[in-house]
Amino acid sequence: MEIQGSAAIVFGGASGLGEATARRLAAEGATVTVADLNAERTALVAGEIGGVAAITDVTDEASVQAAVDAAVSSSADGLRVCVCCAGLGNPIKLLGREGPTPLADFQRMINVNLIGTINALRLTAWAMTQNQPDAAGERGVCVNTASVAAYEGQIGQVAYSASKGGVVGLTLPVARELARSGIRVMTIAPGLFNTPMLAALPEEAKASLSASVPFPPRLGEPSEYADLVAHIVANGMLNGEVIRLDGAIRMAPR
């Protein structure tokens, strides 16, 4: 799939991995719709890359549909690339000091990270089915974001690991379903990345986390995630798979 001249949408595109991806796709010649809840950052990033700003809640059908419609309208060729980076990562244990953790805490995490991904996927995929196939028969590419926590969830990652495990699990069946429409589906499972989620940690904590990565012994940079997204879009044989982007880390229990 050619990035140049394509319309793309990045959910969670106002910060972190999503922002880096939006900027990379725009630099490659795509018209990017930045879909995010943070109105100020969404407008800023979209303005700087010459894209479209869409204030979006991935758990809300109408909100996502409006963002998809905006992306479709941004190009006469239709929406070709979807990247879903929207998500939550706050720690939640099964049991608290006073008893079981409130069910609503788990529901919110699953609703954003997993149901939100499915919501974005189903609406963008439908829009992509309306495209004319390119010379290779492709109509679109969808890239989802999981986490190494889907495989080695740490203590306090009950809801997060479950939600990201769900994203891993849906990758192949969705890729199989959409194959007949010429739409590829891939998932990236990042390890420890230098995103706003980790930026608030003390420097000693970040240094300790960096040292836990076998090689390179550092946090990943959002631009490296964006590089992989760009390669996935360009490489037509990548489909139905989860790629760990983690420097060979395997998370310890805590």
Query: Is 225 one of the annotated active-site residues of the chain?
Result: no
Q: What distance in Å separates the CA atoms of residue 163 and residue 109, rounded to the nearest whole number? A: 7
Mean pLDDT value across the chain? 95
pLDDT higher than 70, residue 132: yes
Rounded to an integer, what distance in angstroms lies between the CA atom of residue 241 and that of residue 78?
25
Tally of helices (H runs) and strands (E runs) in the chain? 9, 9
* DSSP 8-state assignment for residue 50: T
Answer yes or no: are the C-beta atoms of 33 and 7 closer than 8 Å: yes
All domains in the chain, ordered by first residue: 7-192+222-242 (3.40.50.720)
Task: Give 235 or 211, the one with higher predicted confidence.
Answer: 235
> φ and ψ at 21, to 5 degrees?
-70, -45
Contact yes or no for 193/222 (Cβ under 8 A): yes
Q: Is the pLDDT reported for residue 106 higher than 80?
A: yes
Other CB atoms within a 10 A radius of the CB of residue 173 amount to: 11
| pLDDT tens digits along 86-95 | 999 989 999 9
| Across 96-100, average pLDDT | 95
pLDDT over threshold 70, residue 144: yes
Q: What is the pLDDT, as a whole number, of residue 201?
A: 66
Mean pLDDT value across residues 116-133: 98
Q: What is the pLDDT of residue 63?
A: 98
What is the model's pLDDT at position 208? 79
| Cα separation, 153 vs 164, whole angstroms | 10
Does residue 200 register a pLDDT over 70?
A: no
> CB within 8 A of 65, min separation 6: which ones?
123
Q: Among the options 80, 112, 158, 160, which is catalytic? A: 160
Phi/psi class of residue 137: alpha, beta or left (left: φ > 0; alpha: ψ in -120 to 50)? left
Reading the block at residue 163, the tokens are 């939600």
